[in-house]
Structure formats: structure tokens, C-alpha cells
């Protein structure tokens, strides 16, 4: 235990007390390991300290758990229609896209193309599509993205026809940073005719790239 010496009021650590006596003028006289100490603590105080466990139980302050990410329902107004946004999408990203004129421009163009081909609008905007569109706007590729989407939905170019045949109409398929430039180059080419049976020996990967 730690007591306070009467002389100088300095602390003293005493491992084990042998004798404790109250001092007439206040405080206590204690003996430990053959030494005598005059301390300011009273007899009752020292007795109470001795009654406590030698090793105090550490009080552990629980670390607050990190708040769980909550999926919040979010929607966009696109061409007068309320469209759900993937609840897994980052909320900061959703708010940024919702404030971006270029993002809205790309989304609206995508929805028009989708409606012209499918007769309806997409029911939800996935987190992946949202991030891809935001990336285009952030890089300054808005006009390029619109041209590529038009090519993706309407072109007779062999790769566009492949994507159309596979139902691959998501913006994430053609507008990612690693693909948009190649797709833009193809959208600027004179449209190649669709493949005819005589060319059926040509092979493509799952994304329409010519092998």
C-alpha cells in the first residue's frame, strides 16, 4: 500500500505492515520489515486499506464498438421517376452523385437508351453502376460516356452486338476507367457490320473482346 510520511508529506510504499498504532497527535505509527514510519493516515484509514485486496481489480473501460454500417433506403428522381439506389451504396457517394449535373446527365441518357430498348426504366441503380458513373464525371469523361452508352445500346459494331446479345447493358460494363477509352475508340469508328455465319470461326471473350 502507499502511505504518506508525516515528514515532508512524501509517499512511501509499504509491501506488508507488521504493526500499526494510532499516534496521539494524529496519524499513525507503522512498522514494516523492521522499519518504523510516521504517516498522516489515521488508524481506521489504514485498517480499511488493509482490508482491501492487495492487487486492486483493474477497471476496464469498454471500448465502444464501431457503429455498424446501416443500409438506408435512398432514391433518385430520374426523368420524373423515383428510382431506388442500391442500399449498399456509400451514402456520401449517393449525395455527391445527386448533386452532380454531369452524373445526372449520364444517368438520364442511360435511362432513355434503356427505355427505348426495354420499354421500361431500370428499377434500381446498383452501387457498381453508381460508382462507375461518378468516376466518369470526376474524370471529365461525361461526353465520352454518353457516346459509349449510345454505342453500347444501338451500334451494329461486332463488340456492341456481342454485348447486346448477352444483355450486358449496365454502364459498368463499358464505362469503367480501364475500358472506356477502348470502347470510345470503337464508338468513333465506322460501324463494322454484324458478324455473318461465314465469320463464325472468330472467338470472343466473355466481355466481347476479339481473341
pLDDT, tens digit, for every residue of 114-145? 999 999 999 999 999 999 999 999 999 999 99
Q: What is the mean pLDDT of residues 154-179?
A: 93
**139's grid cell:** 474524370
Give the C-alpha distances (Å, rounded to integers) separating 107 from 39, 77, 101, 173, 202: 80, 10, 10, 14, 34
Burial track 1-39 (b if 16+ CB lie within 10 A, e otherwise): bebeebeeeeeeebeebeebeeeeeebbbbebeeeebeb
pLDDT class of 59 with cuts at 50, 70, 90: very low
Question: Which pLDDT value is given to residue 12?
Answer: 74
Question: Which pLDDT value is given to residue 55?
Answer: 47
Q: What is the mean pLDDT of residues 140-164?
A: 94
Q: Where are the domains of the chain?
A: 2-51, 74-199
More confident position, 140 or 17: 140
Q: What is the mean pLDDT of residues 160-189?
A: 93
More confident position, 100 or 21: 100
C-alpha span between 106 and 178 (Å, rounded): 18
CB count in 10 Å sphere of residue 139? 12
> Helix-strand-coil percent breakdown of the chain, rounded to 5?
40, 15, 45
pLDDT class of 68 with cuts at 50, 70, 90: very low
Q: Does the structure show a pLDDT above 50 at 75?
A: yes
Q: Percent of the chain, pLDDT > 70?
A: 78
Q: Does the structure show a pLDDT above 60 at 41?
A: yes
Which residues, 6 or more positions from 47, have their beta carbon under 8 angstroms from its beta carbon? 20
Amino acid at each position: 500500500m502507499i502511505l504518506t510520511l508525516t515528514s515532508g508529506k512524501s509517499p512511501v510504499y509499504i509491501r506488508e505492515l507488521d504493526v500499526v498504532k494510532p499516534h496521539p497527535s494524529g496519524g499513525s505509527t507503522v512498522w514494516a520489515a523492521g522499519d518504523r514510519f510516521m504517516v498522516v493516515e489515521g488508524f481506521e484509514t489504514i485498517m480499511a486499506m488493509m482490508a482491501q485486496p492487495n492487487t486492486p481489480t483493474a477497471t476496464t473501460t469498454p471500448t465502444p464498438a464501431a457503429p455498424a454500417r446501416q443500409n438506408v433506403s435512398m432514391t433518385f428522381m430520374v426523368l420524373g421517376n423515383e428510382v431506388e439506389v442500391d442500399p449498399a451504396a456509400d451514402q456520401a457517394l449517393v449525395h455527391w452523385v445527386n448533386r452532380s449535373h454531369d452524373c445526372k446527365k449520364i444517368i438520364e441518357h442511360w435511362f432513355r437508351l434503356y427505355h427505348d430498348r426495354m420499354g421500361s426504366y431500370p428499377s434500381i441503380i446498383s452501387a457498381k453502376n453508381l460508382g462507375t458513373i461518378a468516376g466518369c464525371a470526376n474524370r471529365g469523361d461525361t461526353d465520352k460516356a454518353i457516346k459509349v452508352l449510345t454505342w453500347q445500346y444501338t451500334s451494329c459494331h461486332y463488340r456492341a452486338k456481342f454485348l447486346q446479345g448477352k444483355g450486358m447493358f449496365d454502364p459498368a460494363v463499358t464505362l469503367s476507367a480501364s475500358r472506356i477509352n477502348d470502347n470510345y475508340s470503337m464508338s468513333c469508328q465506322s460501324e463494322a457490320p454484324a458478324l455473318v455465319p461465314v465469320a463464325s470461326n472468330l472467338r470472343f471473350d466473355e466481355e466481347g473482346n476479339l481473341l
